[in-house]
Amino acid sequence: MKLPLGLACLFLMIASSPAAETLAVGDTAPDFSLQGSDGKTYALKDFKDNQVVVVAWFPKAFTGGCTKQCESLRESSALLKGFDVAYFTASCDQAEDNKKFAEQLGLDYPILSDPEKTTAKAYGVVTDERPYPHRWTFYIGKDGKILYIDRKVDVKTYGEIVAEKLTELKVAKKKAD
């Protein structure tokens, strides 16, 4: 049986689309274990039952938009550190490049490195057609489920937007010492 050309093309597009691009709120977030710009390794499973995790993917270190996004998070650190949350930016750059980028910007949070693109593909931010990550942010609950995915990041006010989203998601505030 032959399929009409239009149906065949549609079938091929659906069949070749990575399942990760369909990640949605409520799905279990793909686990990861990635090196941070601070030299430590961070695994999603280490935060399970303890903290909400925010992973903000960006395309490439040392570029304009990525610099603004990372700086905005740094400038909002007082707001963000008030929440019971672990937050990271992430890219497919080499760990050494992200370390230099973090040092240059004076970041007070780690940039995760995924040069093999395994985690980036699992999250759907990298595909065979798109070698650099989409600028998407994943908010992951203590239970490992995706709470929210931001696919339209505004780099200039990014840190404030993350804090607003954490409030909207009712993420707990840290208790005063």
The Cα 81–Cα 156 span in angstroms is 19
pTM of the model: 0.85
CA 131 to CA 121: how far, in whole Å?
10
> Tens of pLDDT along 3-51?
444 433 433 333 333 344 589 999 999 999 999 999 999 999 999 999 9
Average pLDDT over residues 99-124: 96
Residue 164: inside a domain = yes
Mean pLDDT in the chain?
88
Tokens 């780099």, residue located? 155
Residue 153 belongs to domain with CATH number: 3.40.30.10
- The reply to whether 92 belongs to the active site is no
Query: Which amino acid would we find at residue 139?
Result: Y
Q: 9, 66, 70, 92: which one is catalytic?
A: 66
Q: In a 3-state reduction of DSSP, which class is residue 148?
A: strand
Q: Which two tokens stand for residue 53?
A: 């995790």
Whether residue 83 has pLDDT greater than 90? yes
Identify whether 15 is part of a domain: no
pLDDT confidence of residue 176:
66
Q: Which residue has the tokens 């995790």?
A: 53
**Whether the predicted pLDDT of 154 surpasses 80:** yes
* pLDDT value at 165 more than 80: yes
Nearby residues of 119 by Cβ (< 8 Å), 6 or more positions away: 30, 32, 34, 90
- The reported pLDDT for the residue numbered 19 is 44
In a domain, 17, yes or no: no
Q: Work out the pLDDT band at 174, boundaries 50, 70, 90.
A: confident
CA 2 from centroid of its chain's CA atoms: 42
- Distance between CA atoms of 104 and 124, rounded to whole angstroms? 29
With a pLDDT cut of 70, the percent of the chain lying above it is 87
**Could you tell me if residue 14 is inside a domain?**
no
CA distance 79 to 93: 27
**Any domain includes 10:** no
Q: How confident is the model at residue 175 (pLDDT cuts 50, 70, 90)?
A: confident
Q: Which residues is 140 bridged to in the sheet?
A: 53, 146
What Cα–Cα distance (Å) separates residue 18 from each residue in 21, 147, 158?
Answer: 6, 21, 28
Establish if 73 belongs to a structural domain.
yes
Total structural domains within the chain: 1
| Structural domain harbouring 29 | 25-168
DSSP-derived pairing of the beta strands 146-150 and 33-36? unpaired
| Inside any domain, residue 106 | yes
Half-sphere exposure of 148 (CA within 13 A, CB side): 19
Q: Which residue has the tokens 């279990």?
A: 28
